[in-house]
Amino acid sequence: MGATTLNSYSDDLTSSNAPNYAPIKVNKAGGRLRVQYFTVTLASQVAGEDIALCVLPKGARIIGGNIIASASLANSAQVSVGLMDKAGSSYIDAALSVSDNVAILKAAAVLSTTMLPFANTQALKFGYETEKELYVTATTSVGTVSTEVITGYVMYAVD
């Protein structure tokens, strides 16, 4: 049986090989996977309310998450999932160039008793590394939410 020959390397492996020798960040290789679980009870929230679900630490690399409701949301209400600076600067990055965004992880969608993934594409920040402490947020839209319980989690890698 012949030896397999590699034709190329991932960007991360390329930077760690000669002549660069840059170490791969721990939150990309060998880091600890963490899960932040959240539960929020909604009761007559109108469209446009922002709700902090959990906190991501500085240096967290977002792997993904899921959100689910106890029943289908009434009145065609929708929920989006976003990121917001915990310190209140209105920016999610250290350079103050990316504003808080209520739908950066998941655009507005109707929730039901089926899990809805978020941060599951590159456009929706899969692999995004936080530069400071951030809230994961849920924002209501369209109709008024009746009494419902929303649960979910976000997974991220750290040191």
Q: Residue 70 domain-assigned? A: yes
Is the pLDDT confidence value at 6 over 70? yes
pLDDT tens readout for residues 54-67: 999 999 999 999 99
User: What type of residue is 38?
Assistant: F
The tally of domains found in the chain comes to 1
> How would you classify the pairing of strands 61-69 and 50-56?
unpaired
**68 touches 134 (CB < 8 A):** no
pLDDT tens readout for residues 67-103: 988 887 766 678 899 999 999 999 999 888 999 898 8
Q: What is the span of the domain harbouring residue 97?
A: 26-158
Q: What are the two backbone dihedrals, phi and then psi, of residue 11, each rounded to the nearest 5 degrees? A: -55, -40
User: What type of residue is 128?
Assistant: Y
CATH number of residue 33's parent domain: 2.60.120.380
Structural Rg of the chain based on CA atoms: 19
Q: Residue 53 domain-assigned? A: yes
Q: Residue 151 domain-assigned? A: yes
